Amino acid sequence: MRHLIRTVFAARLIGLSLALPGAIAAEPPARPNVLFIITDDQSYDALSIVQREQGAQGRFPWLDTPNLDRLASEGVRFRNAFVTNSLCSPSRAVNLTGLYNHEDGNGIASNFRPFAASNVTHATLMREAGYTTAYVGKWHMDNQRERPGFDHHATYLGHGRYENCPFIVDGKETSSTGWVDDAATDYAIAFIERQKASPKPWSLVLGFKTPHQPWEPPARTKDLYAGAVARTVPNFNTPPPYLRAQGKNRSSQAVPPTATTNLGYFRCLKAMDDCVGRLLAALKQSGMAENTIVVFTSDNGVYLGAHATGDKRSAYDESLRVPFLVRFPALGPAARGRVVDEMVLNLDLAPTLLDFAGLAAPAMQGRSWRPLLTGPAASWRQSWFYEYFTENQNNTRVPDLTAVRTVDAKLIKYPGHPAWTELFDLKSDPYETQNLIDDPAAAALKARMLAEHNRLAREVGFRVPRFVDRPPDWGQPGSLAGELSPP
């Protein structure tokens, strides 16, 4: 009954997709379909294929994600994928617009703003070019009800809830039963099934709530991994400077070999992996798998105990690095089982989808990673810029920060707190435990990274936007603009 009810509502969701009289199976359209799957707070190493690759350094060797592993083995896995702002709504807005969060055409610098209907996105441009566009699952732009740029939607407000979450289906409030990501998968599969009868290409975004807290898995995985503990990492007792300034410093303590972890996080991941398996099966059954690009990623990473915190937002790799998988069978063997080390950003998603659709990406700041799917690019980015603006989020007080990451180093600046500036040599210190900012032996690296920070800040037009949402005691929006801007 649950699936029947959802199928009826899903028919409303895509009711404008009409079958041609006497339609028969046709050749795949010249423009590929797109299924973009995005999770919430999934660490880059929260994939069993990565755990196996890391061996003794893997934190969660017991983790099992067979369907995501299959997606990687049948497609391309990007080992160095990052977000330009490690916070949910801002990262999602970057995926849509291909613009940094400080840009007016993005407009999202916190979790508390609706996404402007006037924004140009991959969805708006693909819809104008003849694609059917849909959004299913977690949207997470404040409590916004509209889904700008999408013909159809079956989503929920804010974070929703894991069990019996109310959905909004093309503007109509609709009840659901069971686990929220199962319900979202039902809607997504119903949409895919309906597209078999349409000559139009389609682009579907599916947002999973997993693995965002409060980590409530469905019954089928609620007892999984019982008794499992995580291996620790060298930065386990190395907190960021703003926590040390608050007296939360355990850097003098020895790092234990293992530590308990929230198993609900990983139980949700295993259940979500089941949903990915259902989606891949539905694509195969529909006959559209060969000409459908499947992209899987997360809106940001999360520390899971690294750097003595469970948060995100700040600029260490566990926070800003995300899983990133792409499968497109039509590209052939060259794009099967491939691993890419070049640095890609969430900024690149919109330009890439438009590239595959044969469309221009006007004024977007990312670049298409399409060439990387089958071979090395003639030239690729060697550095990129990161930004975060503090927001009025409960007791989370991660300060404003900017950073530059290159293939082998990182510089992190905290405006108003020059003593907190951090410099890391990522080749010798991949866990970012040794701050070299005052080390005379690192003077040349420091000069290079400071210059690169300023160059990139100018290149991306960095500024404190007017649409930040500060804590009440933080001061006026934009008050730190002079400190944050390059000289």
Amino acid letter at 257? P
Tell me, what's the pLDDT at 394?
A: 64
Whether residue 54 is predicted with pLDDT greater than 70 in this model: the reply is yes
Q: Reduced to 3 DSSP states, what percent helix, strand and coil does the chain have, rounded to the nearest 5?
A: 30, 15, 50
The CATH architecture to which 383-487 belongs is 2-Layer Sandwich (3.30)
Rounded mean pLDDT, 387-392: 93
> What pLDDT is attached to residue 474?
72
- pLDDT classification of 55: cutoffs 50, 70, 90: very high
Question: What confidence score (pLDDT) does residue 23 get?
Answer: 32
Phi, psi dihedral angles at 393 (to 5 degrees): -120, 95
Half-sphere CA count of 173, side-chain side, radius 13 A = 6
Q: Alpha-carbon distance 147 to 275, whole Å?
A: 23
Q: How far apart are CA 176 and CA 163, in angstroms?
A: 9
| pLDDT value of position 7 | 43
Answer yes or no: is pLDDT of 4 > 50: no
CATH code at 2-18+29-381? 3.40.720.10
Q: What are the residue boundaries of the structural domains of the chain, listed by start?
A: 2-18+29-381, 383-487
Instruction: Write the pLDDT tens digit of every residue in 102-119.
Output: 999 999 999 999 999 999
Cα–Cα distance measured from residue 95 to residue 386, given in angstroms and rounded to the nearest whole number: 15
258, 227 contact by CB (below 8 A): no
pLDDT band at 360 (very low <50, low <70, confident <90, very high): very high
**Per-residue confidence (pLDDT) for residue 475, from 0 to 100:** 59
Q: What is the pLDDT of residues 279-314, one digit of tens each?
A: 999 999 999 999 999 999 999 999 999 999 988 999
- Can you give the pLDDT at residue 370? 97
Q: Quick one: which of 30, 279, 13, 12 has its CA closest to 130?
A: 30
Q: In the predicted model, what is the mean pLDDT of the chain?
A: 91
Dihedral through CA 248, CA 86, CA 373, CA 355, nearest 10?
-170
The angle subtended at Cα 67 by Cα 347 and Cα 69, nearest 5°, is 70
Instruction: Give the model's pLDDT for residue 298.
Output: 98
The confidence score (pLDDT) of residue 480 equals: 47
pLDDT reported for residue 396 = 66
Alpha carbon distance, N-terminus to C-terminus of the chain: 63
- Kindly report the pTM of this predicted structure: 0.92
CB proximity list for 220: less than 8 A, separation 6 or greater: 271, 274
The answer on pLDDT for 177 being more than 80 is yes
